[in-house]
Amino acid sequence: MEYVVEMLNITKEFPGIIANDNITLRLKKGEVHALLGENGAGKSTLMSVLFGMYTPEKGSIKVRGKEVTISNPNVANALGIGMVHQHFKLVSNFTVTENIILGLEPKKGFVVDIKSAAKKIEELSKTYGLNVDPYAKIEDISVGMQQRVEILKTLYRNAEVVILDEPTAVLTPQEIQELMKIIKNLVKEGKSIIIITHKLKEIKAVADQCTVIRHGKYIGTVDVKNTTEAEMASMMVGRQVNFKVEKTESNPGEVVLEVNNVSVKNNKKVLGLKNASLQVRAGEIVGIAGVEGNGQSELVEAITGLREIEEGSILLKGIDISKHSIRERIRSGIAHIPEDRQKRGLVLEYTIEENCVLEVYNQKPFSKYGLLDKAALAKHAKKIIEEFDVRSGEGAKTVVESMSGGNQQKAIIGREIENNPELLIACQPTRGLDVGSIEYIHKRLVEQRDSGKAVLLTSLELDEVLNLSDRIAIVNAGEIIDIVNAKDTNEDELGLMMAGIKRGEGA
Amino acid sequence: MKKGGIISLIAIFLGLIAGAILIMATGNDPVEGFTYLFQGGLKDSERIGNTLATATPLILTGLSVAFAFRTGLFNIGAAGQMLIGGFCALAIGLTVHLPTYLLLPLMVVVAMVAGAIWAFIPGLLKAKFNVHEVVSTIMMNWIAYWMVYYLVQNHFKGDTETESRMLADSATLKVPFLSDLFSGSFINLGIVIAIIMVIVISFIINRTVLGYELKAVGHNRSAAEYAGISVNRNVILSMMISGGLAGLAGVVQYAGNSSLIEIGVLPSEGFDGIAVALLGMNSPIGVFFSAIFFGLLSTGKGFMSAMTSIPPEISDVIIAIIIYFSATSLLIRKVINKLTRSRKYKKEILNSNVNVGEKVE
Amino acid sequence: MDLIIQIFPYAIAYTIPLLIVALGGLFSERSGVVNIGLEGLMVVGGFASALSISKLQQSYPDASWVIWVGLLIAMLAGALFSLLHAFASINLNADQVISGIAINMIAGALTVFLARNITGSGNIRITGMSRGDVDFLGLNLSHIPLIGSLFFKNAYSTTWLVLIILVISIFVLYKTRFGLRLRACGEYPQAADAAGINVYRIRYIGVMISGAFSGLGGAIILVTYSGEFSGSVAGLGFLAIAALIFGQWKPLGILAASLFFGIATTITNVAQVVPSFAAIPQLVLKVFPYVVTLIALVIFSKSSQAPKSVGVPYEKGKR
């Protein structure tokens, strides 16, 4: 059997960690091969080895039967291996063409020949149905188009093997369908595809084979047609996985949060949120569904005070907080689990103790007359660590930077819940976490809702939104398209709305 | 902290080695050179007193720079703040007639306030307009330089073109008790002020709400903002405290170690404060010892160049090289940390998953 | 008008060193490395050229090529000295601001130390370049009306050297492969790395260019209006950084900013001699460039076009 790429017994180590432990992956020509594993399992590392960004400590790689050493991306490119990264490697103020040719620039004397490159790119774009403007600046085009630029990069370099790293994380359900079509086109033109993902549905939709890794170790390779999602899931996690969240009917009480016709500017100085209205009651979870960058972040920032409101008003338990400072809003009972835990949620150089009082350090009992009461800090942190199962090397005195993502997130959630808020805002609370932590966090959120808190949830994982929420608000292009009961809707319907098509309108 | 101390010692060691190489390269004996250098600072009680006195403004400028660093700010303007603070104190000392026990505290307070105001402007520009404080404080240095130049020349001119009038002894921090204790050294009450500030600043950083806020802003502005901390207020406040400390350095230098201001030069103590802060790992105690070391080098270089043909600039070279190694050593510390941490981290992931997994039915 | 013609050559003389040093800073920052050490690199260049020119002038007192050799040596010295900063910032991921400050301090102390050791004094004097009217193919260009008197009369040939470097820099930065890659390293080095570009190598080149240009700037000051090495360039290196920011990291912007500072400094210096300026207090004139810089920094802060990844140490493998 002719394998176009073979990765044999690959071991890759970093200081103190074995990211890939004796992994084998074989790719046939014209095959779509999925690489499945949890966040942190080592999938991206393995592909970075294939793409020449890392050198493995042990193991070998064969391309078309011949053993090769891939020391840098240029060598990988020369062998016909191309990679579409999860975090796009695009320079935002360069044009599409400049980005594609970077590193391989055609020359006319001393000058870079932009014109001929742009022409070639236009031709490739037509052949594969990618629809990209060679002269557009990256910062001006959509995320979906940026991804297609990344695909074009590989095609421009005559890739035979295209690696896609978590390609659907940033796409709407409809764009995901388009991507599946593009993948089928690529295969038709003779390309072989490796797709790195943790989304079982997509593997079922498009992959032929699937290799599963867990904690850096090789678990097995299965024929996708003959394997169920549940079987693949348990290979990925190591045990039976229950994806449904156990929850009873919600019993909503009074209105806690009122967002009335709020408009907010985004970082590009245009309106990122237009005329949004929303209510959250005590005892219910309202989830915001939408593709990244459609206004969810701006909505949350407007509510918490991190962003100014251009128009409209925000009421918390009937009081207008639109002009209140962030601190005032926290005091009034808003807790916020931020979407970027390391940027916003924690001071990495501080200990757990110090982080646990990040919003309340200047209140009793944590300080008096301007002096910190270290004993009170320690007590508070201990409580949070115990109640929220936060694991760390040195207990409350651990410097937070050294903790794993899951434990950092649990510490943040513990801190926010311990502040006893009226409104708990959770933004992508399980992003990048392992299944165990995800289950735990879901449980706690439902707990909060059951104890009478109002919970506002934003998430990029549609499953999470559907599972957890009582009601769902869908955002697209800065507008709230509709607000529906979770019971009465499904993924397809939500997907259409996320793309801007309202219920009842044509598809 | 211990790790940091070792790295500082390594930086000092490397700097001294580099100095030794330079001394040899210019045809001199480094052993002899260093012996005279250290003797020059420690040989007798007068020299020890001079070392302490020379260290005094360095302690204060070191605290100034270190304090700003903790909030994530580079205060390169310590020299200008010192000059302004010292000048204002001098001006008061030469014009206001009060008994010493009232005059001196007034001068000290004026120096602090003047220094704080001088640092307020770059602080404000940073907070409101995100103007990088390195360039703005350097501009303020030169503005201070020229202001003091013309003000002294036009109003407080001394015996020479580049000096101001002298302060009467009663308007300075000099006390006979201290100078006698150190056999005629020029040590003065400044050292007391410096030691007090070390304690005060250490207290602020470690035990107060203000210190907590400033450090949070310094480590992670986004998180501080998220938590409701006013980043702007803290940036400005931090610069002002930093400026106040530098201003204190001014009064301690120009109305303590000396009794006049020299114009036409930006005080090198301002820039040496950066080295002191770095070497002291930005901690008040570290700054204290680091400043003493620098004071030693400074006091000893005169003796060394008198007894050998080694130019006195060698000690400036050594200081500069020490900073260079300090700057690069911060990385070495990071690397050591990452190595020891990653091993712990891996253990944690395994633990957290295995244990939670066991909880399932 | 006469006044402008009179002071213009002086303004140019102050502008040119600023311009070349700021251009050097541009290359460094566009590649992603903050270089606060431009001041120290200027001092190193001034020292190297002063030393070599004074030695050579002893043997060849009237040869004009001596000065050009001195300039070349200054560029080499600057490039070499900048390796210290490059190594610390690029290989060791040190804080680039601190490293730059260390460079300034080392340069200031080391050069005076060496000067004292070699010549017995901290200062070195040389006979600098002379002004002249610019000759092109036998035609004396200073005779062209207006433009001739402004640009081609009483000019230093180093002015033309720097302007040529400016034009070449614009071409390299925006039209060549190297320029594209350099800019990518400053904006988003991960993209450059994924494209197979050696980010470390490009940043080294960027820093060394800043060293060479700054060294040249220091030497030009020496051979044009200063005539003597004294261990300091009075803050011109920092003024160049301000010109870089003022010029929004674009070569033509830097030209405009440097010209502005050059004219401002000239006005300050000639004020005593020119009656219309003599009425302004000395102090105001002296601090004028610095105050204006502060104001300019504020005005340009909102629309900063700084390279997005400047000052951020590049770590391979980081997302």
Confidence (pLDDT) at B355: 29
Confidence (pLDDT) at B327: 74
Confidence (pLDDT) at B353: 34
Confidence (pLDDT) at A282: 93
Confidence (pLDDT) at C278: 65
Give residue B346's pLDDT band: very low, low, confident or very high (50, 70, 90).
very low
Asked whether residue A168 carries a pLDDT value surpassing 50, the answer given is yes
Report the residue count for chain A: 507
Give residue B279's pLDDT band: very low, low, confident or very high (50, 70, 90).
confident
* Structural domain spans, chain A: 3-237, 254-333+421-433+457-501, 337-420
Neighboring chain A residues of C190 at a CB cutoff of 8 Å: 87, 89
Q: How many angstroms separate the CA of residue C174 from the nearest CA in chain A? A: 9
Q: How much is the average pLDDT of C184-195?
A: 90
Q: How much is the average pLDDT of C281-298?
A: 83
Distance CA A206, CA A193 (A): 10
Most A CBs within 10 Å, among C170, C180, C302, to test the A interface: C180
More confident of the two residues C233 and B344? C233
What ipTM was estimated for this complex?
0.82
Segment 276-295 of chain A within 8 Å of chain C by CB = none
Alpha-carbon dihedral B159, B301, B61, B118, rounded to 10 degrees: 30
- The topology (CATH level 3) of A254-333+421-433+457-501 is Rossmann fold (3.40.50)
Q: How much is the average pLDDT of A295-308?
A: 93
Asked whether residue B359 carries a pLDDT value surpassing 60, the answer given is no
- By DSSP bridging, strand A471-476 and strand A111-112 are unpaired
- The topology (CATH level 3) of C2-301 is ABC transporter involved in vitamin B12 uptake, BtuC (1.10.3470)
Most A CBs within 10 Å, among B346, B347, B351, B361, to test the A interface: B346
Q: Per residue in C207-250, pLDDT tens? A: 999 999 999 999 999 888 777 787 777 778 888 988 898 888 99
Contact B320 C291 (CB under 8 A): no
Q: No. of H helices and E strands in chain C?
A: 13, 4
Domains A3-237 and A254-333+421-433+457-501 share a fold: yes
In A, minimum Cα distance to C191 occurs at: A89
More confident of the two residues B346 and A346? A346
Q: Per residue in C2-31, pLDDT tens? A: 666 677 778 888 899 999 999 999 999 999
Q: How many angstroms separate the CA of residue A346 from the nearest CA in chain B? A: 6
Q: Which two tokens stand for residue A231?
A: 């079987």
Confidence (pLDDT) at B332: 60
Give residue B157's pLDDT band: very low, low, confident or very high (50, 70, 90).
confident
What is the residue-wise DSSP string for A90-140? --TTSBHHHHHHTTS--EETTEE-HHHHHHHHHHHHHHTT----TTSBGGG
Contact B220 A327 (CB under 8 A): no
Confidence (pLDDT) at B348: 43
- By DSSP bridging, strand C124-125 and strand C228-229 are antiparallel
Contact C283 B150 (CB under 8 A): yes
Classified as helix, coil or strand, C202 is helix
Q: What φ, ψ does residue C309 adopt, rounded to 5°?
A: -105, 20
Distance CA C118, CA C115 (A): 5
Q: Per residue in A56-112, pLDDT tens? A: 999 999 999 899 999 888 899 899 999 898 888 999 899 999 999 998 898 888 899
CATH 3.40.50.300 fits A3-237, yes or no: yes
Q: At what angle do helices B133-155 and B78-95 cross, to 10 degrees?
A: 30
Most B CBs within 10 Å, among C38, C92, C98, C119, to test the B interface: C98
Q: What φ, ψ does residue C305 adopt, rounded to 5°?
A: -105, 30
CB crowding B156-170: b at 16 or more within 10 Å, else e? bebeeeebbbbbeee
Q: How much is the average pLDDT of A217-235?
A: 89
More confident of the two residues C146 and A297? A297
Q: How much is the average pLDDT of A297-314?
A: 93
Please indicate if any CB of chain C lies within 8 Å of the CB of A150: no
Beta strands in C145-255 (DSSP E): 228-229
Q: No. of H helices and E strands in chain A?
A: 16, 24
Q: Mean pLDDT over all residues of chain C?
A: 84
Q: How many angstroms separate the CA of residue A186 from the nearest CA in chain B? A: 38
Distance CA C148, CA C140 (A): 9
Asked whether residue B324 carries a pLDDT value surpassing 90, the answer given is no
Confidence (pLDDT) at B342: 52
**DSSP-assigned beta bridge partners for residue A264:** A273
Give percent above pLDDT 70 in chain C.
Answer: 84
Neighboring chain C residues of B22 at a CB cutoff of 8 Å: 110, 113
* Structural domain spans, chain C: 2-301
Contact in structure between C105 and B294 (CB atoms under 8 Å): no
Q: How much is the average pLDDT of A304-331?
A: 93
Pick B131's closest partner by Cβ from C109, C116, C301: C301
Confidence (pLDDT) at B111: 96
Please indicate if any CB of chain C lies within 8 Å of the CB of A17: no
**What is the 3-state secondary structure of A176-238?**
HHHHHHHHHHHHHCCCEEEEEECCHHHHHHHCCEEEEEECCEEEEEEEHHHCCHHHHHHHHHC
Neighboring chain C residues of B324 at a CB cutoff of 8 Å: 84, 88, 99, 102-103, 106
Q: Per residue in A112-128, pLDDT tens? A: 999 999 999 999 988 88
Q: Which of A311-325, A442-456, B296-310 has the lowest mean pLDDT?
A: B296-310
Confidence (pLDDT) at B354: 31
Q: How much is the average pLDDT of C281-304?
A: 81
More confident of the two residues A238 and C237? C237
Structural domains in chain B, CATH included, are 2-331 (1.10.3470)
Confidence (pLDDT) at B303: 83
Pick C301's closest partner by Cβ from B130, B140, B314: B130
Segment 342-361 of chain B within 8 Å of chain A by CB = 342-346, 348-353, 356-357, 360
Give residue B4's pLDDT band: very low, low, confident or very high (50, 70, 90).
low
Contact in structure between A161 and A81 (CB atoms under 8 Å): yes
Segment 160-179 of chain C within 8 Å of chain A by CB = 171, 175-177
Q: How much is the average pLDDT of C297-302?
A: 78
Neighboring chain B residues of A350 at a CB cutoff of 8 Å: 215-216, 219
Confidence (pLDDT) at C147: 63
Confidence (pLDDT) at A208: 93
Q: Per residue in B5-44, pLDDT tens? A: 777 787 788 888 888 888 888 788 888 888 888 888 888 8
Pick C197's closest partner by Cβ from A54, A94, A103: A103
Whole-prediction pTM value?
0.82
Confidence (pLDDT) at A382: 93
Please indicate if any CB of chain C lies within 8 Å of the CB of A102: yes
Give percent above pLDDT 90 in chain A.
Answer: 53
Pick B324's closest partner by Cβ from C97, C102, C241: C102
Confidence (pLDDT) at C135: 57
**Partners for C (CB, 8 Å, 3+ pairs)?**
A, B
Confidence (pLDDT) at A242: 66
Label residue A319 exposed, middle or buried (CB < 10 Å: 0-12, 13-18, 19+). Answer: exposed
Omega into A365 within 30° of 0, i.e. cis?
yes
Give residue B361's pLDDT band: very low, low, confident or very high (50, 70, 90).
very low
Please indicate if any CB of chain A lies within 8 Å of the CB of B70: no
Confidence (pLDDT) at B347: 46
Q: Per residue in C90-130, pLDDT tens? A: 888 778 888 888 888 889 888 888 888 787 777 777 777 66
Distance CA A39, CA A431 (A): 9
Own/partner pairs, C146-150, CB within 8 angstroms, 24+ separation: C149/C5, C150/C4, C150/C5, C150/C8
Confidence (pLDDT) at C154: 64
H helical segments located in chain B: 2-25, 30-42, 45-70, 78-95, 100-129, 133-155, 176-181, 190-207, 209-219, 221-226, 231-252, 268-279, 284-307, 313-358
Q: Which of A160-164, A406-410, B112-116, B169-173 has the lowest mean pLDDT?
A: B169-173
Q: Per residue in A265-296, pLDDT tens? A: 988 788 889 999 999 999 999 999 988 788 99
